[in-house]
Amino acid sequence: MSLLEMKNVYKTYGDLNALDDVSINIEAGEWVAIMGPSGSGKSTAMNIIGCMDKPTSGQVLLDGQDISKLSRRELTEIRRDKIGLIFQQFHLISYLTAVENVMVAQYYHSLPDEAEAMEALERVGLADRAKHLPSQLSGGEQQRVCVARALINHPEIILADEPTGNLDEKNERIVLDLFRQLHAEGTTLVVVTHDAEVGATAQRVITLEYGKVTSEDGDISFGKGSSAIK
């Protein structure tokens, strides 16, 4: 059984089909990149996989559970228990320190544990920056805090939205290395990206165009820096 299954999913906004009969399977432990140009439906797909939106029709199974018909509250619980989120804009809480930002995810999930939060920061190489506020951290450091926050509750799936979109090359490499480690440890990763190089690091690439899946594992040829991937 796949960890995530989208079956004939439609998402309609008025006359616009943001997702048009999309079917995707993601296995546990897989590293998948979802790529596509602007307006292709990447964000809509990400919202649905991340339990932040519901499809207009079709089925979405996460760990065997149909999440397409769940209430807002039930979706919140799934998001809290099973999903780790990484954002392009980092979205750290400005008035909390790095370690406190990680603990916020624990707070909503179960019990905050500062020692465990520190371990997560250590893992992303930021133990010495734990007491710093986001404004005192570089973009790369902020994204690494975001990664530590995403993995602190041992989610079944980590969803990353353009995780390197705001990073320089050096920090992009650090974040991708972290993803490699997580993948090696068996974490399921779904990365939405414009960047072909980032996409190329994934095991499998799903390409969306005009709300449809146009290729899986195939060559991609759009956007800047397009390149062939496996």
Partner 1 sequence: MTGKTSKQAMYLRMITASVARRKSRMLIALLAVVVGATILSGLVTIYYDIPRQMGMEFRNYGANMILVPADSTQGGMTRESIDEAASHIRSDELVGVSPYHYENLTINATPMVAAGTDLEAVRATSPYWYVEGAWPSKPGEVLVGLQEAETFSLKVGDKVTITYTVTGDDGRDAIEENPVEFTVSGLLDTGGSEEKYFFISQEDMESLTGKELTYNVAELSIQANAERLQEIADDISSSVPTVSPQVVKRLTTSESTVLTKLQALVLLVTIVVLALTMICVATTMTAVVTERRKEIGLRKALGASDRSIMMEFMGEGLLQGAIGGLFGAGLGFAFAQLVSTNVFNSSITFRPILVPITVLAALLVTGLACTIPVRNATNVDPALVLKGE
Which residues lie near partner 1 (CB under 8 A)? 43, 46-47, 50, 52-53, 73, 76-77, 79-81, 85, 87-89, 91, 93-96, 100, 103-105, 107-109, 111-115, 118, 133, 149, 161-162, 165
> What b/e readout covers 190-216, taking b as 16+ CB neighbours within 10 angstroms?
bbbbbbbebbbbbebbbbbbebebeee
User: What is the rounded CA–CA span in Å between residue 140 and residue 168?
Assistant: 8
Residue 16 or 228 with smaller CB distance to partner 1:
16
Show the tokens assigned to 200: 């190329």
Name the minimum Å distance from CB 47 to partner 1.
5
82 or 229: CB nearest partner 1: 82
Report strand pairing: 157-161 vs 188-193.
parallel
Compute the least distance from the CB of residue 58 to partner 1, in Å: 18
Minimum distance between the CB of residue 50 and partner 1, rounded to whole angstroms?
A: 7
Residue 15, Cβ neighbours under 10 Å: how many?
A: 5
Nearer to partner 1 by Cβ, of 88 and 229: the residue is: 88
Q: For partner 1, which is the closer residue by CB, 46 or 189?
A: 46
As measured in angstroms, the least distance from the Cβ of 85 to partner 1 is 6
Assess contact for 222 and 194: CB atoms under 8 A.
Answer: no
Q: Is 21 helix (H, G, I), strand (E, B) or coil?
A: strand
